[in-house]
């Protein structure tokens, strides 16, 4: 268990999130994928904090901010999705068209 291991983990998690953002059909899934990317970044923050600067907590402090921002983003995003679903009748990433195939 070294810094490198955590970096590999966070890179993979980030890529999975990115793939999700680019390819999911439902906008809710896109939001979830974004959360995955946030978590990848958080793992980086904490891992660097732990391995490089033991005894300090700056990395964790930033991770807390990231969590907070993610919460804010999710709240706004979800309310937008709700409004969109009410408006378009679907939460597809292709607005205005009914879900098909």
Partner 1 sequence: MIEYAVLIALLPLLSAILIFFFGRWLPMKGAWLGILAVAASLVLSIDLFMRFMDGSLVTPVWSSWTWFTAGIYRFEVGILLDEASIVMLLMVSTVSLLVQIYSLSYMSDAPHFKRFYAYLSLFTFSMLGLVMANNYLQFFVGWELMGACSYFLISFEFEREAAGAAGNKAFLTTRLGDLGFYAGLLTIFYVSGTFNFIQIQEHLRDGYISSHMCYIIALLMFCGSVGKSAQFPLHVWLPDAMEGPTPVSALIHAATMVAAGVFLVARAYGFFVAAPDALQIVAWVGGITAVFAATMAITENDIKKVLAYSTISQLGYMIMAMGVLAYPAGLFHLTTHAAFKALLFLAAGSVIHAAHTNDMTKMGSLSKQLLLTTITFFCGTLSLIGFPLTSGYYSKEMILNSAFTGGHFVLFGIGCFTAFLTAFYMTRAFGLTFLGTPRERDRFAHAHESPWSMTLPLLLLSIPALGLGLVMTSSGLVDKFFGWPGLPATVESHKAGAIAVGSGLAGIVLGGILYPGQLPFVGRLAVRFSPLYRLLQRKYYIDELYGFLFIRRTVDLAHVANWFDAYVIDRVFVDGFGKIVDQLSVVKRWVNDHVRENVFSDALARRLQNSLAQNYLLVMTLGFVMFVLWRVF
Partner 2 sequence: MDPLATCPLEVDGLIIDAIFYVLAAATLLSALAVVSCRNIFHSAIALSACLSIVAALFALLGADFLAASQLLVYVGGIMILMLFVIMLSQRPATVPLQRANSQWFWGLLLSGVIAWRLLLSFRQVFRFEGSRTPPVPTTIALGHLLMSDMLVPFEAISLVLLAALVGAVLFGQDLAENPPK
Distance CA 98, CA 48 (A): 46
* Footprint on residues 14-73 left by partner 2 (CB under 8 A): 14-26, 28-29, 31-33, 35-36, 39, 42-43, 46-47, 49-52, 54-58, 60-61, 63-65, 67-73
As measured in angstroms, the least distance from the Cβ of 88 to partner 2 is 10
As measured in angstroms, the least distance from the Cβ of 29 to partner 2 is 6
93 CA to centre of own chain: 17
Q: What is the DSSP letter of 62?
A: H
How far is residue 45 from each of residues 72, 73, 95, measured CA to CA in Å? 19, 19, 36
93 near partner 1, judged by CB under 8 A: yes
As measured in angstroms, the least distance from the Cβ of 93 to partner 1 is 5
* Footprint on residues 25-44 left by partner 1 (CB under 8 A): 30
Q: Which of 2, 22, 86, 100 binds partner 1 (CB under 8 A)?
A: 22
Number of residues that bind partner 2 (CB under 8 A): 75
Q: Strand pairing partners for 26? A: 92
Distance CA 101, CA 99 (A): 7
């Amino acid at each position: 268990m070294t810094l490198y291991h955590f970096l590999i983990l966070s890179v993979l998690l980030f890529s999975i999130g990115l793939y999700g953002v680019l390819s999911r059909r439902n906008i809710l899934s896109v939001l979830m994928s974004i959360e995955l990317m946030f978590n990848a970044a958080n793992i980086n923050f904490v891992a660097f904090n732990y391995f490089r600067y033991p005894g300090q907590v700056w990395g964790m402090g930033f991770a807390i901010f990231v969590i907070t921002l993610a919460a804010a983003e999710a709240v706004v995003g979800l309310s937008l999705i709700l409004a969109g679903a009410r408006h378009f009748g679907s939460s597809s990433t292709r607005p205005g068209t009914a879900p098909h195939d």
